């Protein structure tokens, strides 16, 4: 047939095997020969049944995402499945690995599904801003029931075979050789005789109470977080209940095409590839072996140290936490236990899983106890002298080849590495608080960091479910450096005439989970106050609030009031009066400040700093910056990240407004970066830099 599709006939069963590495994505190179193979199976009288299997590590993992946005090539996936459903001989999908998206939809076009016990099936299109576009929202409800289908497709999470068998999503689990057992299964069905009903003809599970279904929709889409696709999934699944099959199928395709062509989906597909691209690091090819990590050490049992220890334990790695004294150690480990207990109470993990994770975490006050760790991550006070002391001690104690990592959020890693005799083993692992929750991990590459140490950091990130981005050494690396570029303007906008709630609303309208003033109230104004003091900086309004003990939510007041322990921010006349007074002291005549100005004076400096970061090589590519901001700071997924958004918003427009605000304020953060000017002139975007 072709180099991607083979066709063999064994004892009346046509075995069609797809081979399109790495994940058998259903690109045109696969669809065309597969269509021919299915026609052959349909028309050849010697064929009594059909088995579709895949070579490599997985069954079809979906449509080829890289084809979206390009002119569609026939045959389409729906054409393939329609052909499959025209075959009145038993058709069986032999599933291993992850049958996802269009792959699972193709399997649903078969009469039966036989799977390996370790396989998973799912419809994750919602993660790409899409809905299934080849019948998934119409066939799956018929197979497993509308509510079960709704939960799977809105969450986008695959299910394992135990659940899939119980729901009826697969018909049999293979005990041994998948292909042989799928062929035997097909022979059984031939022996039983027809007819062989397709899923499209089965409607018994659609008899559900629509009010109950609508209630399930409300529950399932609660976490849509402003994304459209989850809501559209619900609409399509509801159509499967209320409409004839073909009408629901046609409506599904219309919705899929509308979503595929949306900026929201383009943003989410950009992030899919950007996240994977970020793991491709210059000088760290696939031939560079990571060092094995069996045991880790963490220095410091505070909020960050405890969170990092949990992240490691959650990834199955045993951890020994070092603190300066027993009391601090007990306090830190006690906090870890409390957080795990909270997860059990909320039903996030079982009590057994809590015990399993806790069993991987131990404590010590003696550096010598860390000697045989494969990696140690320090999370001590953010002060260079303290870091240097810790690394000197580690240099004396740790076995040769151990990786020495700093969780510093902005200090010079090269200076830290120079404290040791082994700078090549030193790397930055910048976790984001809470470290056991936030997915971003900035891997800071020092001048001397060895390639296999970077490979080790990347492998560790994958093992503990983090999203890694390798960054260079500068103050704040990527995320915090861009945040600093925005931060000064937050206060200046208040002095200019905006209120905290006006600024925060512009952010939440944009899609951020919360605005900068709600965020600093949540994090604690005292944290940033100490940071400013360490840098000799001031912020007239925030400093005054701190001097008054108004540290934010934890103090019941900050930029907002939090009455009776509520977390709901209320505007506070004290803050309004303070802003007016400070503006008067500074001779600033306050005026109306519009939403556009707020966006220009906060988001544009970030993008400008991002351009500088690319120019300096601190980030290897613009999409790495998008990955940082979406996974570490809550930048709205639907906007694809600051650099993706800037390219679509118009870089020339951004440069023009930066010029304006640079003229008005004279501030460096508004002076357009040369790269930004160049892109504005050429009309290219950041993606043109690839």
Binding positions for ligand T1G, rule: CB under 6 A: 22-23, 25, 61-66, 77, 98, 100-102, 105, 124-125, 128, 130, 132-134, 136, 273, 276
CA distance 144 to 136: 12
Neighbouring residues of 39: CB distance < 8 A, sequence distance ≥ 6:
83
Contact 114, 171 (CB under 8 A): yes
Write out the two tokens for 236: 């399509």
Shortest distance (Å) from residue 123 CB to ligand T1G? 7
Neighbours of 325 (CB within 10 A): 9
Contact 445, 470 (CB under 8 A): yes
Shortest distance (Å) from residue 617 CB to ligand T1G? 22
Shortest distance (Å) from residue 265 CB to ligand T1G? 10
Shortest distance (Å) from residue 274 CB to ligand T1G? 10
Q: Which helix (H) or strand (E) holds 233?
A: helix 229-242
Shortest distance (Å) from residue 78 CB to ligand T1G? 8
Q: Which is nearer to ligand T1G, 263 or 678 (CB)?
A: 263
Write out the two tokens for 639: 């906007």
Neighbouring residues of 247: CB distance < 8 A, sequence distance ≥ 6:
239
105 is an active site residue: yes
Cis peptide bond upstream of 548, omega within 30: no
Q: Which is nearer to ligand T1G, 136 or 540 (CB)?
A: 136
Q: Which is nearer to ligand T1G, 273 or 381 (CB)?
A: 273
DSSP per position, 510-545: HT-SS-HHHHHHHH-HHHHHHHHHHHT---HHHHHH
Shortest distance (Å) from residue 290 CB to ligand T1G? 16
Cα 113 → chain centroid: 30
Shortest distance (Å) from residue 204 CB to ligand T1G? 25
Neighbours of 662 (CB within 10 A): 17
Neighbouring residues of 217: CB distance < 8 A, sequence distance ≥ 6:
150, 234, 238
With vertex at residue 31, the alpha carbon angle to CA 86 and CA 36, rounded to the nearest 5 degrees, is: 55
Shortest distance (Å) from residue 354 CB to ligand T1G? 27
Q: Which is nearer to ligand T1G, 22 or 195 (CB)?
A: 22
415 is an active site residue: no
Shortest distance (Å) from residue 428 CB to ligand T1G? 24
What ranges make up the beta strands (E) of 20-136? 49-54, 91-95, 98-100, 112-116, 120-122
Residue of 85, 116, 125, 600 marked active site: 125
Residue 54 bridge partners (DSSP): 18
The packing angle between helices 263-277 and 245-260, to 10°, is 70
Q: Which helix (H) or strand (E) holds 428?
A: strand 426-431
Q: Which is nearer to ligand T1G, 64 or 526 (CB)?
A: 64
- Residue 509: phi and psi, rounded to 5, are -65, -30
Q: Which is nearer to ligand T1G, 64 or 647 (CB)?
A: 64
CA distance 96 to 116: 5
DSSP label of 554: G
Shortest distance (Å) from residue 76 CB to ligand T1G? 9
What ranges make up the beta strands (E) of 445-600? 467-471
Cα 518 → chain centroid: 23
Residue 401's Cβ-side half-sphere holds a number of Cα atoms within 13 Å equal to 6
Q: Is 615 left (phi over 0), alpha (psi -120 to 50) or beta?
A: alpha
Q: Which is nearer to ligand T1G, 140 or 561 (CB)?
A: 140
SS (H, E, C) 106-174: HHHHCCEEEEECCCEEECHHHHHCCCCCCCHHHHHHHHHCHHHHHHHHHHCCCEEHHHHHHHCCCCEEE
Q: Which is nearer to ligand T1G, 71 or 536 (CB)?
A: 71
Residue of 48, 85, 105, 609 marked active site: 105
Contact 18, 95 (CB under 8 A): no
Q: Which is nearer to ligand T1G, 99 or 520 (CB)?
A: 99
Q: Which is nearer to ligand T1G, 156 or 300 (CB)?
A: 156
Q: Which is nearer to ligand T1G, 65 or 637 (CB)?
A: 65
Shortest distance (Å) from residue 213 CB to ligand T1G? 22
Write out the two tokens for 84: 């499959």
Using DSSP, state whether 197 is helix, strand or coil: coil
CA distance 644 to 631: 14
Q: Catalytic residue numbers? A: 105, 125
């Amino acid at each position: 047939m072709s180099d991607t599709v083979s066709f063999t006939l064994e004892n009346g069963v046509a075995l069609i095997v797809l081979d399109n590495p790495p994940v058998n994505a259903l690109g045109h190179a696969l669809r065309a020969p597969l269509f021919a193979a299915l026609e052959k199976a349909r028309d050849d009288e010697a064929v009594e049944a059909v088995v579709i299997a895949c070579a490599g590590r997985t069954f079809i993992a979906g449509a080829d995402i890289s084809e979206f946005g390009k002119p569609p090539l026939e045959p389409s996936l729906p054409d393939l499945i329609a052909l499959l459903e025209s075959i009145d001989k038993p058709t069986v999908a032999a599933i291993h690995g992850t049958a996802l998206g269009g792959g699972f939809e193709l399997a649903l076009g078969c009469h039966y599904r036989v799977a390996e016990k370790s396989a998973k099936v799912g419809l994750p299109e919602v993660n790409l801003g899409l809905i299934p576009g080849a019948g998934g929202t119409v066939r799956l409800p018929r197979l497993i029931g509308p509510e079960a289908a709704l939960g799977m497709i809105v969450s986008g999470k695959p299910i394992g075979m135990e659940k899939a068998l119980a729901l009826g999503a697969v018909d049999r689990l293979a005990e041994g050789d998948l292909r042989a057992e799928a062929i035997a299964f097909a022979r059984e069905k031939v022996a039983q005789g027809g007819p062989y009903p397709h899923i499209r003809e089965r409607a018994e599970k659609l008899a559900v109470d629509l009010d109950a279904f609508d209630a399930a929709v409300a529950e399932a889409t609660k976490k849509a977080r402003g994304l459209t696709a989850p809501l559209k999934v619900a609409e399509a699944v509801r159509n499967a209940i209320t409409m004839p099959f073909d009408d629901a199928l046609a409506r599904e395709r219309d919705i899929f095409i509308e979503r595929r062509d949306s900026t929201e989906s383009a943003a989410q597909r950009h992030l899919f590839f950007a996240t994977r691209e970020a793991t491709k690091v210059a000088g760290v090819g696939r031939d560079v072996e990571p060092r094995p990590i069996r045991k880790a050490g963490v220095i410091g049992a505070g909020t960050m140290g405890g969170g990092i220890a949990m992240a490691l334990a959650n990834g199955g790695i045993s951890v020994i936490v070092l603190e300066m004294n027993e009391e601090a150690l007990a306090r830190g480990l006690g906090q870890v236990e409390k957080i795990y207990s909270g997860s059990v109470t909320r039903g996030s993990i079982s009590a057994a899983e809590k015990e399993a994770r806790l069993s991987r975490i131990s404590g010590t006050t003696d550096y010598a106890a860390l000697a045989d760790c494969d990696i140690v991550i320090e999370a001590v006070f953010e002060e260079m002298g303290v870091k240097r002391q810790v690394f000197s001690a580690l240099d004396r104690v740790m076995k040769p080849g151990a990786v020495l990592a700093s969780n510093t959020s902005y200090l010079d890693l090269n200076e830290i590495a120079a404290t040791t005799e082994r700078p090549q083993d030193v790397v930055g692992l910048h976790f984001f608080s809470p470290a056991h929750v936030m997915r971003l991990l900035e891997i800071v590459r020092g001048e001397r960091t060895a390639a296999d140490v970077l490979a080790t950091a990347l492998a560790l990130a994958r093992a503990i479910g983090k999203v890694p981005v390798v960054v260079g050494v500068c103050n704040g690396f990527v995320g915090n450096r861009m945040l600093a570029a925005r931060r000064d303007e937050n206060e200046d906008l208040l002095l200019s005439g905006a209120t905290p709630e006006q600024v925060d609303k512009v952010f939440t309208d944009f899609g951020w989970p919360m605005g900068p003033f709600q965020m600093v109230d949540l994090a604690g104004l005292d944290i940033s106050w100490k940071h400013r003091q360490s840098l000799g900086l001031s912020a007239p309004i925030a400093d005054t609030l701190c001097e008054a003990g108004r540290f934010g939510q934890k103090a019941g007041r900050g930029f907002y009031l939090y009455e009776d322990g509520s977390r709901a921010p209320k505007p506070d006349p004290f803050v309004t009066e303070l802003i007016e007074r400070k503006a008067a002291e500074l001779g600033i005549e306050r005026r109306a400040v519009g939403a556009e100005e707020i966006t220009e004076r906060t988001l544009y400096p970030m993008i400008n700093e991002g351009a500088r970061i690319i120019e300096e090589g601190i980030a290897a590519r613009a999409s790495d910056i998008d990955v940082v901001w979406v996974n570490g700071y809550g930048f709205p997924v639907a906007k694809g990240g600051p650099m993706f958004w800037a390219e679509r918003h118009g870089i020339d427009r951004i440069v023009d407004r930066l010029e304006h605000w640079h003229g008005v304020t004279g501030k460096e953060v508004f002076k357009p970066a040369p790269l930004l000017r160049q892109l504005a002139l050429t009309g290219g975007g950041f993606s043109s830099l690839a």
